[in-house]
């Protein structure tokens, strides 16, 4: 199988059968598609200078062709591989799983063609034409692009996703994006804050109850899970679920069934579960506050939402986005941010993350007197002083540490063991500190 003269420079070797729309979109984007057979002869057909990406299409795959695909991938480890599976394919099945693991990225049919093009562009060494706004997650920093790519990847997979991150980082925004990009998007999305439910009512809120199930249960109540049938349930602060509700949730994840409180009848239900936590769930497991088996069930796919201070490049963009949204609903003089305000926003640590930014921008839009929101309007006028204090305090600490080591070494006549004893640290630490402060012992003596 040789690449003929007319081939373009960007080539996909598609092991399987691309659908008409897939072929059309990729060709339009400038990719030449070569259809190949995993068990066929002649390798993948490469020519120097071509960008070649291989795609393992397992949609029609029987066991023999999956095995052949695995061999083909093993024979060509230097090639970037993508893989494509059917939605009902058992991703845990060892040979399928090995193929997914060996791929740079994988897709579930129906293929999100924009994501496929982005992935191909990345593998071909181009800057991906990613539009994070498409999925409702505003931001263009590296960290946000990585989140968006994971959201696109996880959305079509029918597995739970555990979303972690500090408060206000956009965990619910991500959960909505996962739902909105999934095949369930036309069905309900139910967001439940487990921490806000009274512990004795959690079971009934989530799974419903029958009339007379407990004092005050005057009528049958349908729970959030049943209301979201065919859709997605998002359990925020899942670590706050009481033990009995954890057991019911585990059973639902294992068997796809639930029982209303006060009933022994099992109800079969199709709901995808997404969960979020801002506490360390692993620690809760260690301390026996969260079931380990439930943790493993929820933590199949994991999405981490970075803190806002880790995505400095997003701050001004998000602020303008919130201001524009505010202006659509309210009248305000404010149109944009002064350069001092932009600088203060970029340097602020944002302990409340995106939620705090949203609140400050809305408040500032109300109080602003002019077209440009000032640092003062945002209540961030102190940021430069805070930075200065942090810098000077930091450098004072470093200087004090250096002086303490030098003085002690001199007093101990450069006896490292003695110096370590007096400063109550190990000898290794003294050597490390000397290296850190660039203290050459010979120069000090
Ligand atoms: N990338 C984003 N683009 C636009 N709006 C965002 C983004 N991230 C967060 N927000 C907004 O910030 C606020 C907080 O987001 P969200 O509720 O999703 O955070 P959270 O991590 O779930 O918070 P908590 O841990 O308190 O439940 C919301 O108003 C949300 O719309």
CA atoms of 156 and 99, how far apart (whole Å): 18
DSSP one-letter string for 360-394: HHHHHHHH--SSEE-TTTTT-TTHHHHHHHHHHHH
Judgement on whether residues 171 and 277 belong to the same structural domain of the protein: yes
Are the CB atoms for 86 and 111 separated by under 8 Å?
Answer: no
> Does residue 266 belong to any structural domain of this protein?
yes
Give bridge partners of residue 34 from the DSSP assignment. 13
Q: What percentage of the chain exceeds 90 in pLDDT? A: 45
Closest residue CA from atom 29 of ligand 1: 355
pLDDT-derived band at 49 (thresholds 50, 70, 90) equals low
CA atoms of 132 and 404, how far apart (whole Å): 51
> Does residue 354 belong to any structural domain of this protein?
yes
B/e letters for 266-293, b = 16+ CB within 10 Å, e = fewer, are ebebebbbbbbbbbebeebbeeebbbee
In eight-state DSSP terms, residue 215 is T
Ligand 1 centroid to residue 171 C-alpha, Å: 6
Q: Where in the sequence is the domain holding 333, given as residue range(s)? A: 310-381
Region 296-301: mean pLDDT is 94
Domain boundary among the residues 304, 332, 360 is at 304
pLDDT-derived band at 207 (thresholds 50, 70, 90) equals very high
Judgement on whether residues 235 and 342 belong to the same structural domain of the protein: no
Judgement on whether residues 65 and 112 belong to the same structural domain of the protein: yes
Judgement on whether residues 147 and 49 belong to the same structural domain of the protein: no
Are the CB atoms for 104 and 80 separated by under 8 Å?
Answer: yes
Judgement on whether residues 159 and 290 belong to the same structural domain of the protein: yes
Give the rounded distance of the alpha carbon of 283 from its chain centre: 20
- Residue 165 beta carbon below 6 angstroms from any ligand 1 atom: yes
Ligand 1 centroid to residue 137 C-alpha, Å: 9
Are the CB atoms for 214 and 189 separated by under 8 Å?
Answer: no
pLDDT-derived band at 387 (thresholds 50, 70, 90) equals low
Judgement on whether residues 198 and 282 belong to the same structural domain of the protein: yes
CA atoms of 136 and 180, how far apart (whole Å): 9
> Does residue 356 belong to any structural domain of this protein?
yes
pLDDT-derived band at 48 (thresholds 50, 70, 90) equals low
Region 298-308: mean pLDDT is 94
Judgement on whether residues 161 and 297 belong to the same structural domain of the protein: yes
Residues 402, 407, 409: CA angle, nearest 5 degrees: 95
Ligand 1 centroid to residue 154 C-alpha, Å: 19
- Residue 239 beta carbon below 6 angstroms from any ligand 1 atom: no
Judgement on whether residues 319 and 208 belong to the same structural domain of the protein: no
Q: Indicate whether 132 pLDDT > 70.
A: no
Q: Could you tell me the two tokens for 300? A: 């199949």
Judgement on whether residues 126 and 259 belong to the same structural domain of the protein: no
SS3 22: helix
Domain boundary among the residues 381, 407, 424 is at 381
- As a whole number of Å, the end-to-end CA separation of the chain is 73
Of 275, 344, 277, which is closest to residue 312 (Cα–Cα)? 344
Judgement on whether residues 314 and 299 belong to the same structural domain of the protein: no
227-253 pLDDT, tens per residue?
999 999 999 999 999 999 999 999 999
Domain with residue 146: its CATH number is 3.40.50.300
- Residue 298 beta carbon below 6 angstroms from any ligand 1 atom: no
For CA atoms 348, 349, 353, 355, the dihedral sign is negative
Question: What's the farthest any 2 CA atoms get from each other in the chain?
Answer: 87
pTM for the model stands at 0.63
Q: Indicate whether 148 pLDDT > 90.
A: yes
> Does residue 1 belong to any structural domain of this protein?
no
- Poorest-pLDDT segment among 122-131, 320-329, 346-355, 402-411: 122-131
- Residue 171 beta carbon below 6 angstroms from any ligand 1 atom: yes
> Does residue 4 belong to any structural domain of this protein?
no
The CA radius of gyration of the chain, in Å to the nearest whole number, is 29
Residue 173: CB partners within 8 Å, gap ≥ 6?
A: 136, 137
Q: Could you tell me the two tokens for 105? A: 């990225």
- Residue 51 beta carbon below 6 angstroms from any ligand 1 atom: no
Domain with residue 377: its CATH number is 1.10.8.60
Q: Indicate whether 284 pLDDT > 80.
A: yes
- Poorest-pLDDT segment among 123-132, 219-228, 270-279, 290-299: 123-132
Give bridge partners of residue 81 from the DSSP assignment. 54
CA atoms of 34 and 7, how far apart (whole Å): 9
CB neighbour class for 37 (10 Å; exposed up to 12, middle 13-18, buried from 19): middle
Give the rounded distance of the alpha carbon of 313 from its chain centre: 17
Region 253-276: mean pLDDT is 93
ipTM of the complex: 0.98
> Does residue 387 belong to any structural domain of this protein?
no
pLDDT at residue number 399: 73
Domain with residue 115: its CATH number is 3.40.50.2300
- Poorest-pLDDT segment among 71-80, 81-90, 304-313, 345-354: 71-80
Q: Could you tell me the two tokens for 386? A: 């805070």
> Does residue 391 belong to any structural domain of this protein?
no
Q: How many domains, in total, are found in the chain?
A: 4
Q: Indicate whether 429 pLDDT > 50.
A: yes
Closest residue CA from atom 8 of ligand 1: 170
Helix (H) or strand (E) holding 325: helix 312-329
Q: Indicate whether 128 pLDDT > 70.
A: no
Judgement on whether residues 277 and 373 belong to the same structural domain of the protein: no
Residue 156: CB partners within 8 Å, gap ≥ 6?
A: 87, 107, 108, 110, 112, 181, 182, 183
Domain boundary among the residues 69, 101, 131 is at 131
26-36 pLDDT, tens per residue?
998 888 888 88
> Does residue 210 belong to any structural domain of this protein?
yes
Between 445 and 402, residue with greater pLDDT? 402
Across all residues in the chain, what is the average pLDDT? 85
Q: How far is CA 434 from CA 266, 338, 400, in A?
A: 68, 45, 14
Q: Indicate whether 389 pLDDT > 80.
A: no
CA atoms of 10 and 80, how far apart (whole Å): 13
In eight-state DSSP terms, residue 202 is H
Judgement on whether residues 70 and 171 belong to the same structural domain of the protein: no
Q: Indicate whether 2 pLDDT > 70.
A: no
Strands 232-236 and 189-193: parallel
């Amino acid at each position: 199988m040789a690449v003929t003269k007319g081939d373009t420079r960007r080539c996909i070797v598609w092991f399987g059968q691309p659908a008409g729309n897939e072929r059309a979109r990729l060709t339009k984007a400038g990719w030449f598609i070569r259809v190949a057979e995993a068990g066929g002869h002649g390798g993948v057909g490469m020519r120097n200078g071509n960008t070649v990406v291989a795609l393992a299409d397992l949609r029609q795959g029987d066991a023999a062709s999956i095995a052949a695909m695995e061999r083909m991938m093993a024979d060509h480890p230097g090639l970037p591989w993508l893989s494509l599976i059917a939605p009902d394919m058992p991703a845990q099945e060892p040979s399928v799983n090995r193929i997914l693991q060996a791929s740079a990225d994988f897709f579930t049919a129906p293929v999100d063609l924009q994501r496929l093009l982005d992935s191909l562009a990345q593998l071909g060494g181009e800057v991906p034409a990613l539009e994070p706004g498409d999925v409702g997650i505003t931001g263009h920093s590296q960290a946000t692009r990585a989140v968006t790519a994971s959201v696109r990847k996880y959305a079509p997979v029918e597995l739970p996703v555990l979303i972690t991150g500090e408060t206000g980082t956009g965990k619910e925004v991500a959960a909505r994006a996962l739902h909105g990009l999934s095949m369930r998007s036309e069905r309900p999305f139910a967001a439940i804050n487990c921490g806000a439910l009274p512990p004795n009512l959690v079971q009934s809120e989530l799974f419903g109850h029958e009339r007379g199930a407990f004092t005050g249960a005057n009528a049958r109540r349908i729970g959030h899970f049943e209301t979201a049938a065919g859709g997605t349930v998002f359990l925020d602060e899942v670590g706050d679920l009481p033990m009995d509700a954890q057991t019911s949730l585990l059973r639902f994840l294992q068997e796809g069934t639930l029982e209303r409180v006060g009933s022994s009848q099992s109800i079969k239900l199709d709901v995808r579960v997404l969960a979020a936590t801002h506490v360390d769930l692993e620690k809760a497991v260690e301390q026996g506050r969260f079931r380990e088996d439930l943790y493993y069930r929820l933590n199949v796919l994991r999405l981490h939402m970075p803190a806002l201070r880790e995505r400095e490049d997003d701050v001004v963009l998000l602020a303008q986005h919130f201001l524009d949204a505010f202006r659509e609903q309210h009248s305000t003089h404010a149109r944009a941010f002064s350069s001092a305000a932009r600088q203060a926003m970029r340097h602020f640590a944002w302990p409340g993350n995106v939620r705090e930014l949203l609140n400050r921008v809305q408040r500032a839009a109300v109080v602003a007197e002019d077209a440009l929101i000032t640092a003062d309007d945002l209540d961030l006028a102190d940021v430069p002083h805070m930075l200065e204090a942090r810098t000077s305090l930091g450098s004072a600490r470093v200087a004090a540490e250096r002086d303490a080591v030098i003085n002690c070494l001199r007093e101990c006549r450069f006896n490292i063991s003695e110096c370590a004893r007096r400063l109550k640290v190990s000898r290794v630490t003294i050597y490390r500190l000397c290296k850190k402060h660039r203290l050459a012992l010979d120069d000090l003596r």
